[in-house]
Amino acid sequence: MYTHSWLVVKDDSARTFEAVATPMTENAFTNKVYAMQRDGLNVSYVLLPVTNQQASRESIRITGYRSEPGLYKRLLKQHQDLLLRQAGEYE
């Protein structure tokens, strides 16, 4: 039996989170978050198993955080900008 998890990214600076809807593996997701952390972004992730209580993304709650639609895309853009800035410093 295959299990399915919600991929939840958290911006620890802004105290926001988003359940990511992009179809990707858990491994790809965690590697991307680790890359963001390594490059200085204050982010973390949670892998939540899909249960009857959390069958929809809207029902997911994380204590102390508020939901932010589009957070994952914003973090990817922020990470890409950071990488481009760092690459420009080495030229």
Domain coordinates in residue numbering, the chain: 5-89
| Cα distance between residue 82 and residue 78, in whole Å | 6
pLDDT, tens digit, 9 for 90 and up, residues 5-40: 889 999 999 999 999 987 888 999 999 999 999 999
Do strands 43-49 and 5-11 pair parallel, antiparallel, or not at all (unpaired)?
A: antiparallel
- State the average pLDDT over residues 54-77: 90
Determine contact, residues 46/8, Cβ cutoff 8 Å. Answer: yes
Query: What percentage of the chain exceeds 70 in pLDDT?
Result: 91
In this predicted structure, the answer to whether residue 1 has a pLDDT above a threshold of 80 is: no
